[in-house]
Amino acid sequence: MSFEVNFDGLIGPNHNYSGLAFGNLASSRNAKNTSSPKQAALQGLEKMRTLLKLGYKQGFMLPQERPDLSVLREIGFEGDDAQILKAVSEQAPHLLSMVYSASSMWAANAATVTPSNDSADGKVHFTPANLLTTSHRAIEHKQTQRCLEAIFNDKDAFTVHAALPSITRFADEGAANHTRLCKDYESQGVGLFVYGRDDNTDLNELRFPARQTLDASASIARQHTLPGERAVYLQQSAVAINAGAFHNDVVAVGNGPVLFYHQDAYEVPSQEAAFAKLDKLVEGFTAIEVPREKVSLDDAITSYLFNSQLLASPDGSMNELRIVAPTECRDNDNVRRYLEELAQDTSQPIRHVEFVDVRQSMSNGGGPACLRLRVALSEEEIAKVNPAFLLDDAKIDALKSVVEKHYREELNPEDLFDPAFITECQQALNALTEVMGIAPFYDFQRS
């Protein structure tokens, strides 16, 4: 048996609204607002518990070490932590929010994953995303690689690659622009790689950056030994990018043989060619198009309809799929009506809709699907995953206790200038690793 295991990014004690991501409209709207790290982390843990209760296998990824003062040292700041903080606050305060960013919580951007059923060498492959389009995310991939190597530490079963070169041609945003489609988890699948730009893209037509390149997607397919005919490339539409769909997972989500997408998600010629290939390669391929007349692109983006998790049944069956959507979808009349109609439509397999409250994450620009990295694994491969990162109720309770003790109820932008907050974040991260039995993990724990 094979299953999809969701590894959610555990939200860190530094969760703040800095509005750093140009093109992410929710992030921009809430820039400089007061955040609640405690509420954010508890909401994320409750989502993980919800999936566990429904019978799904659930893992997690640790928050990254923040602030990442190593970045500031690399660009010329010297001294101990407090001295560096003081110098940055006086000379370049705009850099502080970059090294304090909590964006690694969105694990869908952590990496691209190819299961062993698809790779030519029979191993599960991971490539951390270089995320070079935004400076606060471009600093993540080294810590992401370390985390993935800790979780998937059996080199006979798993290969964790380094990120692609940090060159504009190879801009990569991870699984947010990649969907694995297959008859079922036992079958060989197809990697659907969605990109925003290639050599023929007129960048003058784009209001916001096209973050994923065709060259990056093709490079990952090669790295992962994915046979050429099993990689399908599809271009995201300029209309979607300009409306604020900075990743494909803002306008589409797929699982098994089903691709659920907005009518305006893709460039039409590219869509026709890609769907023709998917019809041949994926048995039972089902494309569910959400018409703009029922759900406008604006409604889709503001509610994050497509940033929902699309799940098979807990046993892996594709006959009854479940959407786990943010509560913002329930609160949007057009989206709620559409989902109610969809669940009653027996011509397609989506039968259940669950709503989860991840408002703190949503306010920073990421929904339920952003918070998780999907990994299709056989039972034998699950047994080779570092068990510290696989969750049950007791582990969630343990993580919750750390959050309740060490995370702030409120965090204001000016709090990042307080040297004591560095110590506070380290104490929280130290407690998380200790309670899960995986310390030392962070650089500060080794120094």
Q: pLDDT per residue over 60-73, tens digit each?
A: 999 999 999 999 99
DSSP code string of 293-326: TTS-HHHHHHHTGGGSEEE--TT--SSSEEEEEE
Candidates 353, 191, 176; CA nearest to 251 is 176
Of the residues 65, 173, 328, 381, only one is catalytic, namely 173
Q: Which residues are annotated as a binding site for substrate?
A: 18-27, 109, 136-137, 211, 249, 364
Q: pLDDT tens across 365-390, in order? A: 788 999 999 999 999 999 999 999 99
The pLDDT score that the predictor gives to residue 18 is: 66
In this model, does residue 23 exceed pLDDT 90? no
Residues 293-322 have a mean pLDDT of 95
| DSSP type of residue 189 | -
Provide the angle, in degrees to the nearest 10, between the axes of the packed helices 393-406 and 419-435: 160
Nearest-angstrom CA–CA distance, 102 and 73? 20
Strand (E) positions, 96-156? Answer: 111-114, 124-128
Provide the angle, in degrees to the nearest 10, between the axes of the packed helices 393-406 and 37-53: 170
Three-state DSSP class for 124? strand
Pick the range with the lowest mean pLDDT from 25-39, 56-70, 230-244: 25-39
Of the residues 147, 182, 329, 370, only one is catalytic, namely 370
The pLDDT score that the predictor gives to residue 206 is: 82
Candidates 172, 169, 151, 173; CA nearest to 160 is 151
Query: Element (H or E) spanning 21, and its range?
Result: none
Q: How confident is the model at residue 26 (pLDDT cuts 50, 70, 90)?
A: very low
Break the chain into its structural domains and give their ranges: 2-66+101-446
% of residues, the chain, pLDDT over 70: 96
The pLDDT score that the predictor gives to residue 19 is: 43
Question: Mean pLDDT score of the chain, rounded to an integer?
Answer: 93
Candidates 379, 343, 372; CA nearest to 52 is 372
Q: How confident is the model at residue 307 (pLDDT cuts 50, 70, 90)?
A: very high
Instruction: Phi first, then psi: give them for residue 20, nearest 5 degrees.
Output: -85, -15
Of the residues 15, 247, 262, 406, only one is catalytic, namely 247
370 is a catalytic site residue:
yes
Q: Which CATH class, in words, describes the domain spanning 2-66+101-446? A: alpha beta
15 is a catalytic site residue:
no
| DSSP type of residue 65 | P
The DSSP bridge pattern shows strands 231-235 and 321-326 to be: unpaired
Report the amino acid identity of residue 201: T
DSSP β-bridge partners for residue 61: 9
329 is a catalytic site residue:
no
